């Protein structure tokens, strides 16, 4: 039963983690617009690492509106 629960949790968590890691890769390449696209939906859902990533993004990359 514990194994089944662990598998179900991973199925729910893994897609969000993959999006976060895509944002990290984009950020490290200097592609801040893509990083924002990956992190913003996660941050709006309360994901703390994504919120931190948004906070680290240079102001020049943020949209004006």
Could you read off the pLDDT of 22-40 as tens digits, one per residue? 999 998 998 988 998 998 9
Mean of pLDDT values over 43-61: 82
The closest of 34, 54, 35 to 43, measured between CA atoms, is 54
Number of domains in the chain: 1
Give the whole-angstrom CA distance, residue 55 versus residue 44: 13
Which residues neighbour 32 within 8 Å (Cβ) at sequence distance 6 or greater?
26, 57, 58, 60, 61
Indicate whether 48 belongs to any domain.
yes
Measured at the CA of 15, the angle between CA 11 and CA 18, to 5 degrees, comes to 130
pTM for the predicted model, two decimal places: 0.64
Give the whole-angstrom CA distance, residue 32 versus residue 14: 23
Indicate whether 45 belongs to any domain.
yes
Q: Which residue range forms the structural domain that includes residue 22?
A: 14-56
């Amino acid at each position: 039963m514990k194994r089944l629960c662990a598998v179900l949790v991973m199925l729910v968590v893994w897609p969000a983690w993959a999006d976060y890691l895509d944002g990290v890769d984009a950020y490290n390449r200097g592609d801040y617009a893509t990083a924002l696209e990956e992190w913003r939906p996660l941050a709006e859902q309360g994901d703390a690492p994504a919120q931190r990533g948004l906070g680290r993004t240079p102001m020049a990359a943020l949209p004006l509106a």
